Chain A
Amino acid sequence: MIKGSKELIAYGERSRFVTSVRIPHGGRPSPDAFGLVFHVATPLQDSVGVITPSSLHYVATTRGSFIPDIDPKEHSLMIHGMVDRPLTFTMEDLKRLPSVTRLHFIECAGNRATPRAKNVQESHGMTSCAEWTGVLLSTLLKETGVKAGASWFVAEGAEEVKGASSMPVAKAMDDCLVCYGMNGEPVRPQQGFPLRLMVPGFEGIFSTKYLRRIKLVDRYYLNYNDYGHLDQDPKVAALDYQIGPKSVITFPSAGQLLPGRGFYEISGLAWSGGGAIRSVEVSTDGGRKWNRAEIKGTAYRMAHTRFGYQWNWDGKETELLSRCTDEIGQVQPSRAQVAKYWNVPHDPAYRVPGLDNSIQPWRVASDGSVHNGLA
Chain B
Amino acid sequence: MGLLRVLSLVLLMGVSALAQSPTYGVGRTPSAEEIRAWDISVGPTGAELPPGRGTAKDGAQVYVKRGCAVCHGATGTGGPAPVLKGKPAEPTVDAWERGRVLPVRSPFATTVWDYINRAMPLGREGTLTADEVYALTAFLLYINDVIPEDEVLDAQSLPKVKMPIGDGYAPLPDWKPKTRRLRGYPY
The chain A residues found within 8 Å of chain B, CB to CB, are 34, 63, 78, 80, 85-89, 93, 96-97, 142-143, 145, 154, 156, 160-162, 164, 168, 170-171, 174-175, 212-213, 215, 217, 219-224, 227, 230-239, 241-245, 273-275, 327-328, 330-333, 337-338, 341, 354, 357
8 pairs from A and B in contact (CB 8 Å cutoff): A143-B23, A156-B38, A162-B118, A164-B118, A275-B178, A327-B178, A328-B179, A332-B187
Residues of A with C-beta under 8 A to B34: 78, 88
Q: Which of A86, A174, A354 has its CB near the most chain B CB atoms (within 10 A)? A: A86
Determine whether B29 belongs to the interface, using a CB cutoff of 8 Å to chain A.
Answer: yes
Cross-chain contact of A274 among B24, B26, B43, B180 (Cβ < 8 A): B180
User: Contacts A234-B171, A244-B187, A341-B185; is A274 near B30 (CB within 8 Å)?
Assistant: no
Determine whether B9 belongs to the interface, using a CB cutoff of 8 Å to chain A.
Answer: no
Are B119 and A161 in contact, with the CB atoms below 8 A?
A: yes
Are B114 and A224 in contact, with the CB atoms below 8 A?
A: yes
Residues of A with C-beta under 8 A to B114: 223-224
Determine whether B125 belongs to the interface, using a CB cutoff of 8 Å to chain A.
Answer: yes
Number of A-B residue pairs with CB-CB distance less than 8 Å in the complex they form: 166
Question: Could you list 19 further interchain pairs (A-B, Cβ under 8 angstroms) beyond the known A156-B41, A222-B106?
Answer: A78-B35, A78-B38, A86-B29, A97-B26, A161-B119, A162-B125, A171-B177, A175-B177, A223-B41, A232-B169, A232-B170, A235-B182, A275-B178, A327-B178, A330-B186, A330-B187, A331-B187, A341-B185, A354-B181
Q: How far is the CA of A161 from the CA of B125 in the complex (A)?
A: 7
Nearest CB to that of B165 among chain A residues? A230
User: Contacts A143-B27, A164-B41; is A230 near B107 (CB within 8 Å)?
Assistant: yes
Determine whether B14 belongs to the interface, using a CB cutoff of 8 Å to chain A.
Answer: no
Residues of A with C-beta under 8 A to B22: 85, 142-143
User: Contacts A80-B39, A87-B29; is A237 near B175 (CB within 8 Å)?
Assistant: no
Chain A to chain B: the 5 pairs with minimum beta-carbon distance, closest first: A237-B170, A87-B27, A234-B170, A242-B181, A333-B187
Interface band, chain B: 35 or more
Residues of A with C-beta under 8 A to B182: 235, 238-239
Nearest CB to that of A63 among chain B residues? B119
Q: How far is the CA of A233 from the CA of B169 in the complex (A)?
A: 7
Q: How far is the CA of A96 from the CA of B28 in the complex (A)?
A: 14
Nearest CB to that of A352 among chain B residues? B187
Are B43 and A231 in contact, with the CB atoms below 8 A?
A: no
User: Contacts A96-B26, A97-B24, A170-B177; is A215 near B41 (CB within 8 Å)?
Assistant: yes
Residues of A with C-beta under 8 A to B174: 168
**Complex interface residues of chain B between 123 and 159 (CB less than 8 A to chain A):** 123, 125-126
Q: How far is the CA of A332 from the CA of B186 in the complex (A)?
A: 8
Q: How far is the CA of A231 from the CA of B31 in the complex (A)?
A: 38
Residues of B with C-beta under 8 A to A223: 41, 111, 114
Cross-chain contact of B125 among A78, A87, A160, A221 (Cβ < 8 A): A160
Q: How far is the CA of A143 from the CA of B21 in the complex (A)?
A: 7
Are A215 and B39 in contact, with the CB atoms below 8 A?
A: yes
User: Contacts A222-B108, A242-B181; is A142 near B115 (CB within 8 Å)?
Assistant: no
Are B168 and A232 in contact, with the CB atoms below 8 A?
A: yes
Cross-chain contact of B187 among A86, A142, A212, A337 (Cβ < 8 A): A337
Cross-chain contact of A161 among B105, B106, B118 (Cβ < 8 A): B118
Q: How far is the CA of A13 from the CA of B92 in the complex (A)?
A: 62
Are B27 and A89 in contact, with the CB atoms below 8 A?
A: yes
Shortest beta-carbon distance from A272 to chain B in Å: 10
Q: How far is the CA of A220 from the CA of B169 in the complex (A)?
A: 13
Residues of B with C-beta under 8 A to A63: 119
Q: How far is the CA of A80 from the CA of B177 in the complex (A)?
A: 24
Are A242 and B178 in contact, with the CB atoms below 8 A?
A: no
Are B187 and A88 in contact, with the CB atoms below 8 A?
A: no
